Structure 1
Amino acid sequence: MTLNVYLSGEIHTDWRNQIIESCREQKLDIAFTSANTDHESSDAAGDVLGPEENGFWRDHKSAKVNAIRTKTLIEKSDVAIIRFGDKYKQWNAAFDAGYCAALGKPYITLHAEEIIHPLKEVDAAAMAWATTTDQVVEILKYVVNDL
């Protein structure tokens, strides 16, 4: 059985590729999906619905179009990995974690120790908190090998 893993959060480092490549090297039966990681096209996702003079409404439309993808992929996933980076505030990742929690969807948080306090509620609902991509891969390996 293929494990479906949704990768959410920080888009400025290669953490997704690290996890995907390590799982492939270990021949783990895992399919990965993700939110749109191209910042520019994500911001423009709603532009197809017509131009907006006010930035709020452009962001509003794009957020809704992006949510079609995000909600669909989270709902189809077996587990989500939610990555929080140090440099930017990933409000969308926090929202994804909350959505997973509301659905009863297991998720793993991935972040440094320095941001434990602001993420305490997000971590409290997570099934695990990891600080490295290697830890995430080991958890996924454990799950896949028991399927």
Structure 2
Amino acid sequence: MSKVWQVYLSGEIHTDWREQIESMTKAKNLPVHFTHPVTNHENSDNCGATILGNEDKPFWFDHKGGKVNAIRTRTLMRDADIVVVRFGDKYKQWNAAFDAGYAAALGKSLIILHAPEHRHALKEVDAAALAVAEKPEQIVQILDYVITGSLPVK
């Protein structure tokens, strides 16, 4: 039996980039299992207070949620062979930057995904990565090459 690669898809939650990567990878029949953070924004924001009790102060409300979410994030990132972090066009994605740094600190194979216009702002993050892609298709091409040694037909 061949290795099943564990790939953690982190970052931006407002577009379908994860579904694109998963669909294209499945179409290529690559042995990959994907994991990711909770992508339901409301659930992610409210998990700590909903489970552990509400907080009057926003700091403690967010603190509880951040810690509960970290249980999932830390576990799945530690188990991953490859971590892909997507920076989208909307919002300041501090959590994505943190995940990229955490993956780098763990020594994970890190791939960053963002549009060219974010190159300067993310230069330090990009420097920690083994690859920087602009499109989900490139992520799948990297996975295909790493797993099978195949290059895309041009």
The interval holding the TM-score normalised by the smaller chain is over 0.9
Cross-structure match for 1:58: 61
Matches within 5 A, 1:124-143: 124-143=127-146
Which stretches in structure 1 are left out of the alignment for 5+ residues?
none
Counterpart of 1:118 in 2: which secondary structure? Answer: coil
Distance in 1 between the 2:63 and 2:39 partners? 18
Q: Which has the higher contact order (CA 8 A, sep 6+)?
A: 1
Cross-structure match for 1:93: 96
Which stretches in structure 2 are left out of the alignment for 5+ residues?
150-154
How far has the Cα of 1:42 moved from its partner? 0.2
- After superposition, what is the alpha-carbon deviation per residue over 1:73-116, rounded to whole angstroms, capped at 9, x for unaligned? 00000001100001111110100000011111111000001011
Counterpart of 2:121 in 1: which secondary structure? Answer: helix
Distance in 2 between the 1:93 and 1:45 partners? 19
Percent identity between matched residues is 58
Distance in 1 between the 2:73 and 2:44 partners? 11
How far has the Cα of 1:51 moved from its partner? 1.2
TM-score relative to the length of structure 1:
0.98
Cross-structure match for 1:42: 44
**Corresponding residue to 2:27 among 25, 28, 33:** 25
Distance in 2 between the 1:142 and 1:89 partners? 32
Q: Which amino acid aligns with 1:105?
A: K
Cross-structure match for 1:69: 72
TM-score relative to the length of structure 2:
0.93
Runs of 4+ with >4 A deviation: none
